[in-house]
Homo-oligomer: A and B are copies of this chain.
Amino acid sequence: MLSYTEENYLKSIYKILSFDHKTASTNAISKAIQTSAASVTDMLKRLAEKELIHYEKYKGVTLTVRGERIATSLIRKHRLWEVFLVDKLNFSWDEVHDIAEELEHIKSNELINRLDNYLGHPKFDPHGDPIPDENGHFTLRHQICLVEMDAGESGVIVGVLEHSTPFLQYLDRLKLKLGVNIKVIEKFEYDESIKIIIDDREEQILTQKVVQNLLVQKA
């Protein structure tokens, strides 16, 4: 049985590894979970002791199979709870992260499987992130970042790369939500902004920052 804290370390390591890195460094972890590097070192020793991570002094860490299973199970719980909060309790997509962060630590597997069933086995959460199944497998999707789309191409918004409340609220203001159809009208090299048309109706200029954080499934 793992503590709340140990679970958070594993999830954090998983995220760092899945981002790009071959190994998760002490510093990267300490930044991610906002604790001192010294505390992280201590915890890494404990997690290695429990065979949840591979740890060699000064070399950074990777997850063992057991460690990865726990991490994906936490991500599964987090994302299913987010679906529940949005679909059933009508929270908006920018309000659910912190609550799900607590809910993901509830232990019962029976609970999470019944919840999954109740929600209709969703494959993606309210931000478009894939929900791993019981075995830790993610549904893959053909998606590209909006920056990679050329003028004239169109597609559907399926995800975001940034999850902050301000960004999500800003997207709401721009009427950009998951599922809307967009077509790239023009790309401005000058400031990397682009002009799109939303659902064949509304034209909009998107700044580079927005363009870099939207994921699209090409039509």
What residues make up the interface of A, taking CB atoms closer than 8 Å to B?
Answer: 85, 88-91, 95, 98-99, 102-103, 105-108, 110-111, 114-115, 118
Contacts and interface: CB of A to CB of B under 8 A. Distances in A.
Contacts of A88: 118
Nearest to A98: B108
Closest 7 CB pairs of A and B: A89-B114, A102-B106, A99-B108, A99-B111, A89-B118, A88-B118, A103-B106
A114 to B, nearest CB: 4
A114 B91 contact: yes
Copies in the complex: 2
A89 B103 CA distance: 16
Contacts of A98: 108
Contacts of A111: 85, 89, 99
Nearest to A102: B106
9 contacts: A85-B111, A89-B111, A89-B118, A90-B114, A95-B110, A99-B108, A102-B107, A102-B108, A103-B106
A108 B102 CA distance: 10
A104 B110 CA distance: 18
Contacts of A103: 103, 106
A143 to B, nearest CB: 31
Contact of A99 (B85, B89, B102, B106): B106
Contacts of A114: 89-91
A95 B105 CA distance: 19
A20 B111 CA distance: 35
Contacts of A118: 88-89
Contacts of A85: 111
Given A91-B110, A99-B108, A102-B106, 16 more contacts: A85-B111, A88-B118, A89-B111, A89-B114, A89-B115, A89-B118, A90-B114, A91-B114, A95-B110, A98-B108, A99-B111, A102-B105, A102-B107, A102-B108, A103-B103, A103-B106
A75 B111 CA distance: 20
A90 B114 CA distance: 8
A131 to B, nearest CB: 17
